[in-house]
Amino acid sequence: MKLLFLEDERYFTGIFGSNWIQANRANIEFSGYKYYKRPIAFFSRYTCIISVQYLWPLCNIIVIKARAAGINTVLVADGIIDWANCTKNHFALESRLQLYNPIIHDTFLCPGLFEGKFLCGKSIQFIPHKVLPQEPDNKTQQNDDHPDFIINHRKHAIL
């Protein structure tokens, strides 16, 4: 499985955790935004394209190309959905776009079940690493296993 993360690694460290990133480094590539000029066929080398930027046109160009190539695409919310931010976000206002509307990705990973279902019908509840307790206890899932579950679930749900 080869994953292309469209933004820089620093965006995803807080989302998936540095331990998971290190353990999977051979199968992941960061800064995929630089491939926006590549032809559609280029993206067929990846199993999944993952992004956190919804309003950045370069990422959206790649998402559209990846979907045309039949590659799974995932949008990840890096934290709790703030409703005021969805309507008053200065980047959204400047670009005249609505945050998370429409979601062009195959799947949307977001912390809240309600928010995910409200924003799109293709969401999976996902809690970013940075909001999980740092010291796992008996009631908390190991942080390092969390992203594997999500990516494997995504693979089986769509493929």
Q: Please, which pLDDT band fits residue 115 given cuts at 50, 70 and 90?
A: low
| Domain boundaries defined on the chain | 3-158
Predicted model pTM: 0.71
Contact between 74 and 109 (Cβ < 8 Å): yes
Class of the domain covering 3-158 = alpha beta
- CB-count exposure of residue 108 (10 Å: 0-12, 13-18, 19+): buried
Q: Which two tokens stand for residue 131?
A: 């909001």
121 phi and psi angles, rounded to 5 deg: -85, 5
How many whole angstroms separate alpha carbon 100 and alpha carbon 92?
10
More confident residue, 72 or 114: 72
Q: What is the mean pLDDT of the chain?
A: 75
Residue 142 — very low, low, confident or very high, per pLDDT cuts 50/70/90? very low
